[in-house]
Amino acid sequence: MEDETKNLSTPIALVLSSLGYSYVLATYMTKGLTRVLFLLPTFYLLTIFPWYFTSSLLRGVLSFFITWITSFKLLPFCFNKGPLTACKNYLDFVAIAIFPLKIQENTHPHLTLSLSFKTLSSIMARYELVTLFNKPYLATSLQDFWGRRWNRLSSNILRQTIYEPTQNVLVGNFVGVGKARILAMITTLVISGIMHELMFYYISCGTRPTWEVTWFFVLQGISMVFEGALKYLARVKGWTPVHPTVFNVLTLAFVSFTFSWFLVLPVWRSGRNECGFRPKILPFRE
């Protein structure tokens, strides 16, 4: 147990120090690509962090919160955007970067780091837990499910880092708003699929990706486009509205079936709890 604690103290210290580096150095760097370049060591450390843990469940959870979400919070921070820009001190920066938290409005930054109960209470009162799920079982469409109800933490981060910038670039290059939204949505889902593929890579101990996870999200994007077109056609033709319960059942059935086929089966085939190696980026393993 003592050896395991020693082994874990190193990656934890690396993450905390790399976030400290990002907070202090990036604050004094010109926003934009300069910050991104100087934060490359931090991004690298975040990618190897999950390998220090032997449990496949822990690797999956940490790759989501640390490798994916923390990295995607740092990216907009490089351009003075995103939730990390509201942080006034290092403790706030670490808490918001790692955990599903946001700083509450109308609160004042604490001036001391003493570990008294009163101070800890005031510190925790500054944070608000981000709602991860908003009753996904009530979704009446794929757009409602993925955009407003399922994993709102990753949805918000993807919107800030991928969807909105992509849409702005496409509109700025004389692409219609409608087409820009569709292309931005599909791009966002492809990136989401790649990040989920990375999570499965950690869970399966570095097994070569089958890309089924990525295709799952591509399929969701194509289906949302088809869904939107069908709704538009129904409005134009004046078809009789279908009861929301029918859409609810169809949405949940489609998501459940595709989820089982593209996500559950790959993990079932290749997931292992013990990798048998310590942290380092390894070549794909058969």
Contact 49, 16 (CB under 8 A): no
The CA distance from 251 to 255, in Å, is 6
Question: What pLDDT is attached to residue 282?
Answer: 43
Decide: helix, strand or coil at residue 129. Answer: strand
Whole-model pTM: value is 0.82
Contact 12, 98 (CB under 8 A): no
* Residue ranges in 109-176 assigned as alpha helix (H): 117-125, 142-144, 152-158, 164-172
Task: Kindly list the domain boundaries of the chain, sorted by start residue.
Answer: 2-129, 136-270
- Residue-wise burial string across 248-275, b where 16 or more C-beta atoms lie within 10 A, e elsewhere: beebbebbeebeeebbeebbeebbeeeb
pLDDT per residue rounded down to tens, the chain (286 residues) = 444 445 678 888 989 999 999 998 877 888 888 899 999 999 999 999 999 888 888 898 999 999 999 999 999 999 989 899 888 889 999 999 999 998 876 655 574 445 445 555 556 677 888 888 999 999 999 999 998 899 999 999 999 999 999 998 888 777 788 888 888 988 998 999 999 999 988 988 888 888 888 899 999 989 998 998 898 898 888 888 888 899 999 999 999 999 988 877 766 765 555 565 554 444 344 4
The CA distance from 59 to 72, in Å, is 18
Question: What pLDDT is attached to residue 250?
Answer: 94
Question: What pLDDT is attached to residue 5?
Answer: 46
Number of H helices, E strands in the chain: 14, 2
Determine the residue type at 216.
Answer: F
